[in-house]
């Protein structure tokens, strides 16, 4: 049995590799918006959205890879009663960061394990992040320095890089913020016999 990450996320792969896991990468082929839109219209909370999307990714790859243990993950950013997706371009990233200035938002990161097309475990972690009050000039300098990498992040920041300068306070697990609740995942992989106890 192989361990498979159903994601093309560089940071998720780095987290697993840094934890010493042997795994393969096989990104899921799911239309996230097609799954998400009816759920949003039905009023599903962000925690459920993250779990359902992570599960869809894990099950998609698991159906193609019988007998392997597949990790699916997803992250939702909840802000002022709504949710945000990755910005489409730098002007959208700028608008989002200016809107976040001096306010808090939540990152909800879900991780799911699937085998033989069935979900066998799921977990959702929440982190609350408070941005400091910053000027439009600061945002311009930040985006120029950080570059297009901000477009790969739902919050338009990478906490592990220059993005740390945007924050006043962080409540929650570092790995949740990066998009993969690693500690609960490692514990479940031990339970599944994939890691030593």
What 8-state DSSP symbol labels residue 106?
E
Angle at 126 between CA 119 and CA 54, to 5 degrees: 25
Give me the domains of the chain, ranges plus CATH numbers: 3-191 (3.90.950.10)
pLDDT at 1 over 90: no
Per-residue pLDDT tens digits for 64-92: 998 999 999 999 999 998 889 899 999 99
Closest among 163, 165, 181 to 173, alpha carbons compared:
181
* Residues of the chain above pLDDT 70, percent: 100
**Average pLDDT over all residues of the chain:** 95
**What value does the mean pLDDT take over residues 41-51?**
92
Tokens of 4: 């498979």
Residues in contact with 175: Cβ distance below 8 Å, sequence separation at least 6, in sequence order: 15, 109, 125, 181, 182, 183
At 160, is the pLDDT very low, low, confident or very high (cuts 50, 70, 90)? confident
Give the separation between CA 141 and CA 31, rounded to whole angstroms.
34
pLDDT at 155 over 90: yes
Give the separation between CA 28 and CA 5, rounded to whole angstroms.
9
Question: Distances in Å between the alpha carbon of 134 and those of 78, 102, 140, 146?
Answer: 20, 7, 11, 16
> In the prediction, which pLDDT does 167 show?
97
Residue bearing the bigger pLDDT, 43 or 90: 90
pTM, rounded to two decimals: 0.91
**What value does the mean pLDDT take over residues 121-125?**
97
Q: What is the dihedral of CA 167, 46, 35, 13, to 10 degrees?
A: 40
Q: Are 134 and 166 in contact (CB under 8 A)?
A: yes
Angle at 95 between CA 156 and CA 33, to 5 degrees: 60
pLDDT at 184 over 90: yes
> In the prediction, which pLDDT does 141 show?
97
pLDDT at 170 over 90: yes
> In the prediction, which pLDDT does 66 show?
86
Catalytic residue among 74, 148, 171, 173: 74
The answer to whether 74 is a known catalytic residue is yes
Residue bearing the bigger pLDDT, 1 or 98: 98
Closest among 179, 128, 186, 137 to 158, alpha carbons compared:
179
């Amino acid at each position: 049995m192989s361990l498979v990450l159903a994601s093309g996320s560089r940071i998720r792969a780095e987290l697993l590799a840094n934890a010493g896991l042997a795994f393969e990468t096989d990104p899921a082929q799911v239309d996230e918006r097609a799954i998400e839109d009816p759920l949003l219209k039905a009023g599903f909370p962000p925690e459920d959205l993250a779990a359902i999307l992570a599960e869809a990714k894990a099950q998609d790859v698991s159906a193609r890879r019988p007998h392997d243990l597949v990790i699916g993950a997803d992250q939702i950013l909840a802000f002022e009663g709504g949710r945000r997706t990755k910005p489409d371009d730098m002007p959208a990233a700028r608008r989002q960061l200016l809107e976040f200035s001096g306010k808090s938002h939540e990152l909800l990161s879900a991780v799911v394990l699937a085998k033989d097309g069935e979900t066998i475990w799921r977990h959702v972690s929440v982190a609350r992040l408070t941005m400091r009050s910053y000027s439009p000039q600061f945002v311009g300098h930040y985006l120029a320095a950080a570059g297009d990498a901000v477009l790969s992040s739902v919050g338009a920041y990478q906490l592990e890089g220059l993005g740390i300068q945007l924050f006043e306070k962080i409540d929650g697990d570092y790995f949740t913020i990066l998009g993969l609740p690693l500690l609960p995942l490692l514990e479940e992989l031990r339970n599944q016999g994939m890691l030593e106890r």
